[in-house]
Amino acid sequence: MKLQQSTWPEVEAYLKESKGIVIPIGSTEQHGPTGLIGTDAICPETIAQGLSEQGILIGPTLSIGMAQHHLGFPGTITLRPSTLMSVIKDVIMSLKGHGFRQFLFLNGHGGNTQTTQAAFSEVFAEHSLDREASNLAMRLLNWFQGPRVRSLIDELYASADGNHATPSEIALTWYAYPDQIRDVPLTPEQAPSGEIRDASDYRRRFPDGRIGSKPQLASVDHGRQFYEAGLADALEVWRSLTDS
Give the domains, in start order, of the chain with CATH numbers.
3-243 (3.40.50.10310)
Phi, psi of 38 (to 5 degrees): -90, 15
pLDDT at residue 134, rounded to an integer: 67
Mark the ranges of the chain whose per-residue pLDDT is less than 50: none
CA quadruple 59, 63, 64, 68: dihedral sign: positive
Predicted local distance difference test score (pLDDT) of residue 131: 63
Residues in the chain: 244
Question: Alpha-carbon distance 213 to 160, whole Å?
Answer: 5
In whole angstroms, how far apart are CA 193 and each of 156, 188, 196, 219, 239? 19, 12, 10, 23, 37
C-alpha–C-alpha distance, residues 87 and 115, integer Å: 11
- Residue 133: the pLDDT is 58
pLDDT at 197: 87
Question: Looking only at Cα atoms, what is the longest distance across the chain?
Answer: 59
**Residue 19 near residue 100, CB atoms below 8 Å:** yes
pLDDT of res. 196 = 87
Output the pLDDT for position 104. 98
Q: What is the mean pLDDT of the chain?
A: 96
CA distance 161 to 58: 29
- List, for residues 99-126, the tens digit of each pLDDT value: 999 999 999 999 999 999 999 999 988 8
DSSP 20: E
